Chains A and B, each alone.
Chain A
Amino acid sequence: MSLLSERLGWIVFEAETKRLHELVKAVLPELDGIVGWEQGFDALHATPVFVNREEDVHRLMWSPLCVHNLSGYLVKTPPFLPRDEGRKVGICVKGCDSRSLVALEQEKFLGRDRLHIFGIPCEGTVDWRRVMKKIPLRGVSSVRREGPELKVEDSRGVHSLPWEESLARRCLRCAHPNPLVHDVLVRDPVEPRIKKDEAYGLVEEMDQKSLEERLAFWSAELDRCIRCYACRNACPLCVCQDRCIVETRDPKWLTQKMGISEKFMFHMIHSLHLAGRCTECGECERVCPMEIPVTLMKEKLNQITREILGYEAGIDSQLVPPLLTFNPGEHEL
């Protein structure tokens, strides 16, 4: 097994990866396939992988570089979920990813009985862009966590960075590190980093600013938007895909016109479509090539949803999201 750690460049998460292989091997014959992560083009990058043969199981891995929320693959075209309703698939999820599964189940896009969920309690994922900004790296050969430090080895030697400074913003405000739904857990549950009500610190900071300051902030941020729609494509709950109203021209909500008004409009629509649905997995922000903090808008709407409706998305599969129901008894709205 020393080979494995050498190849992955990891020493700390070898046990979890090994355990994942065992668990996958045990159920693979009953499944149509499994979606998980494998080593990417260098040690700093993982990439999603679909496995349906036993000889490929060794490709699966777990490490804090397994940043992707894989749940979108189950519902987006072509869906990884087979049409045959008797068949199941396996999926690897972190705490945040599991909430997407719950939300998709709440909205009846998924049946829990179609899934075999490998839950992975997570202590945070590494934001490689943050790392690169601190240490410009070239030809990364290994990445590992040693206690409070992230150690990265590239062509110029070994660099170290405080662990906390390498984490993604979404992970620093994570209250649900342990998968809420799972069939098996790959490792023991971990302590949440913060409590639920502390998760909206950045939103509260924004609220302190004047309207003009906020407009100036968002104008500057959104001005960079290139309307590549990566945020939308990465969002597991953005299920309209080709029918998304930012691309269809009837009804004509958006045009090809250049300028910030169309960019604003797109992000407002995206955020409002996720109001009371977004599980704050942070994928939209992670994939944004222009590094716009787009999850922040959804965080604000979620904070409002919590305050007014006492509701949090992706927690209880039996609940109906409040904006997806009609209740004439709701007076406070």
Chain B
Amino acid sequence: MRIGVFVCQCGTNIASTVDTDAVAQKTLMLPDVVYSTSYMYTCSEPGQKEIQQAIAEHGLQGVVVAACSPRMHEPTFRRAVEKAGLNRYMFEMANIREHVSWIGTDREANTRKACDLVEMAVAKLRYNQPLFSSKVPIHKKVLVIGGGVAGIQAALDCAEGGLDVVLVEKKTTIGGRMAQLDKTFPTVDCSSCILGPKMVDVSQKENITLLASSEVENISGYVGNFKVDVRKKATYVDWSACTGCGACIEKCPSRKVPDSFNEELGNARAINIPFPQAIPKKAAIRREYCLHFTKGKCGVCKKICPVDAVDYEMQDEILTEDVGAIIVATGYDLFDHSVYGEYGGGRYPDVISGLQYERILSASGPYGGHIKRPSDGKEPRDIVFVACVGSRDASVDRPYCSGICCMYIAKQAILTKDHVPGSNSYVFYMDIRSPGKNYDEFVRRAQEEYGVQYIRGRVGKIYPRGDRMVVQGADTLLGMQVEVEADLVVLATGVESASGSRELAEKLRISYDQYGFYMESHPKLRPVETNTAGVYLAGVCQGPKDIPASVAQGSAAAAKVQALFSRDTIETNPQVALVNERSCISCGKCIQVCPYGAIQWKELRGGERKAEVLPSVCQGCGLCNATCPCKAIQLLHATDNQILAEVNELFG
């Protein structure tokens, strides 16, 4: 093989601590290397030209560039060599910037290490083979999991672009957390007024199939060709008939059902529609509270229903959908503040969560929008907000900032003043995090115009005194302990990953962090992609964020899907595993360890079974190769021989 080596100086980034000329000279002594040079900026236009010229003049069959991280410029150079007529995989990169020049100042040692790395790259290149992509058709339908605002936005944007969308929502209505909010910061818009039209749009778009009361059961396949099983949970009401009139709810005798939409403040009925703007506006029976199911008698709803929609015999259904891409927007759960014993451990009715207070403020909430405290229905005069409950606290394994609490407290304090003009609001906080457009101004308004008293310090204890609550905390600015007597205490409960997020991640084969938030492909440059091709993220399932960020991610994920679907086929990455059937001993270990389900049995004539890789599913992780005892399965472009050549070059 005729190999050319190009050593980049990266201005002074590399040249200041690596003798790039010496590296070029030394590598010219290597077998097979016929051309070698060092250049100021190899990635620049003239730098690339130089490579292309050298390929032509010296008949190069392979190229090594010693420069920065391949994550930076490998695609650039692959394109460059491809334009000059080489296969793009006849190229290797040696990282002498991040791995050498930036981490050491000893010029001599750096130069030596740079030589080693170039020698290893040359050693590997000798074993490189031209690789070619193949094309697979795309099923142009998208699955959106989760019908909160992020999922709604993603579904609408996809549908707007003419794609068929399947929107799966676990609950009986879409809307998610945003539907539970009274107002949104910093504009104090009515939440359901701005969300409502989007929800209606979802129901009216012909190319959106809304599957409420449904959950994803199983996912197989790969980008462009996923097969998804969706479990449609029995609601015991035939939704094709139900008109949402609500007659059944009015007459339902089971009245002590915790109202989860109202965060357990007040009661709902066993047959219920969570809120007036619900989409779809259809009733559903909660089996565990329904007298027909628990006691075996009743049947009032069935008798009262004017369209005979109630069906006690209804069973779960499994629907199968073929989709080409998946957007995950499964949202979040609220931190359960009962783990804080010092805040009453959930025992005090007048110590409530932020979302409960949101429901109290809401006109469609349990108290019709009048601020009352849960214990005795009295209007509170003094209200204390406690920030960072279940956020930024390593002792409860929630060291992260939930990002929204500072803002929603300010909003709730402002709204409190509007509802109860003579009231006093106090906020115990650690730091104020308000880095959004008009956010800090909003917090200042709460402090300056609305007279909300901000006390910097943590709350140590909350306990009852008479019919009021005492909040004891530190004021670290004054350097003293303070005690505030309050009628109502609102804990700014933080955000945690939705229950079941880990299980769903396993089905999707995407990774998640230790708190259950889904991992994006790159924290900065690929924020809505996952490491599984064709699966995208939107909203809080990826990490705490507010409504505008969730909506932006919904749109971003939709844009990614549109881009993916703009072609009829997708090019597969040829750096995948390949089975040498003659060496395969049919032990099946590769099938067991593959995290992507990319390996399956293939039956040969005579009934013998061998492993077979589905190239379009394989992500090239190499787990199969490491596991295969006889190394019959090789990862193309990182074969054992290529790695061994590098190792032997270094130590041999």
Contact = CB atoms under 8 A, between A and B. Distances in A.
Nearest to A109: B587
Interface string B184-217: 0000000000000000000000000000000000
B630 A245 contact: yes
B338 interface: no
A251 B506 contact: no
A326 interface: yes
Contacts of A245: 629-631
B266 interface: no
B631 A324 contact: no
A240 B641 contact: no
A251 B647 CA distance: 14
Interface in B611-652: 623, 627, 629-632, 634, 639-641, 644
Interface in A295-333: 320, 323-326, 328-329, 331
A252 B126 CA distance: 14
Interface string A103-115: 0000111000000
B641 A252 contact: yes
B592 A328 contact: no
B631 A251 contact: yes
Contacts of A326: 592-595, 623
A251 B634 CA distance: 9
A251 B594 contact: no
B514 A323 contact: no
A224 to B, nearest CB: 24
Contacts of A329: 502
Interface in A203-253: 239-241, 243-245, 248, 250-253
Contact of B630 (A108, A243, A320, A323): A243
B504 to A, nearest CB: 13
Interface in A63-120: 107-109
Contacts of B593: 324-326
Nearest to B512: A328
A329 B593 CA distance: 14
A324 B641 contact: no
> Which of A239, A323, A325, A328 has its CB near the most chain B CB atoms (within 10 A)?
A328
B592 A320 contact: yes
A253 B644 contact: yes
> Which of A107, A240, A331 has its CB near the most chain B CB atoms (within 10 A)?
A240
B640 A107 contact: no
B396 interface: no
Contacts of A25: none
A37 B595 CA distance: 44
A273 interface: yes
Interface in B147-190: none
A251 B592 CA distance: 23
B592 A239 contact: no
B640 A253 contact: yes
Contact of A240 (B511, B629, B644): B629
B522 interface: no
B589 interface: yes
B585 interface: yes
A239 B644 contact: no
Nearest to A108: B588
A241 B627 CA distance: 16
Contacts of B623: 326
Interface residues of B, number: 27
Contact of B631 (A108, A253, A325, A331): A253
Interface in B575-591: 583-585, 587-589
Contacts of B588: 107-108
Given A251-B639, A326-B623, A329-B502, A243 B587 contact: no
Nearest to B623: A326
Nearest to A273: B629
A328 B589 contact: no
A325 B592 contact: yes
A21 to B, nearest CB: 36
Contacts of B629: 239-240, 245, 273
Nearest to A329: B502
Contacts of B502: 329
Interface string A245-281: 1001011110000000000000000000100000000
A243 B627 contact: no
A252 B581 CA distance: 17
Given A245-B630, A331-B514, A107 B587 contact: yes
Contacts of B512: 328
B585 A251 contact: no
A167 to B, nearest CB: 32
A251 B638 CA distance: 12
Contacts of B634: 251
A328 B511 contact: yes
A248 B592 contact: no
A322 to B, nearest CB: 11
A87 to B, nearest CB: 16
A263 B639 CA distance: 23
Contacts of A331: 514
Contacts of B639: 251
Nearest to B509: A328
> Which of B502, B584, B627 has its CB near the most chain A CB atoms (within 10 A)?
B627
A45 to B, nearest CB: 32
B640 A244 contact: no
A245 B640 CA distance: 11
Nearest to B502: A329
Contacts of B592: 320, 324-326
B506 A328 contact: yes
Contacts of A240: 585, 629-630
B589 A324 contact: yes
A239 B20 CA distance: 50
A108 to B, nearest CB: 6
B587 A328 contact: no
B641 A251 contact: yes
Nearest to B621: A326
A323 B589 CA distance: 9
Contacts of A243: 583-585, 630, 632
> Which of A108, A323, A324, A331 has its CB near the most chain B CB atoms (within 10 A)?
A324
A251 B629 CA distance: 12
Contacts of A320: 592
A273 B506 CA distance: 27
Nearest to B588: A108
Nearest to B584: A243
A325 B594 CA distance: 8
Contacts of B585: 239-241, 243
Contacts of A239: 585, 587, 629
A252 B640 CA distance: 8
Contacts of A253: 631, 640, 644
B514 A248 contact: no
Contacts of B589: 107, 324
Given A245-B631, A273-B629, A251 B587 contact: no
A323 B587 contact: no
A159 B618 CA distance: 65
Given A324-B627, A329-B502, A251 B595 contact: no
Nearest to B594: A326
Nearest to B593: A326
> Which of B587, B630, B640 has its CB near the most chain A CB atoms (within 10 A)?
B630
A250 B629 CA distance: 13
A240 B595 CA distance: 24
Nearest to B632: A243
A328 B595 contact: yes
Given A239-B629, A250-B641, A326-B594, 17 more contacts: A239-B587, A240-B585, A240-B630, A243-B630, A244-B630, A245-B629, A248-B630, A251-B639, A251-B640, A251-B644, A252-B641, A253-B644, A273-B629, A324-B593, A326-B623, A328-B506, A329-B502
A-B pairs, 5 with minimum CB distance: A251-B640, A243-B630, A240-B630, A326-B595, A251-B641
11 contacts: A240-B630, A243-B630, A250-B641, A251-B631, A251-B634, A252-B644, A253-B644, A324-B592, A328-B512, A329-B502, A331-B514
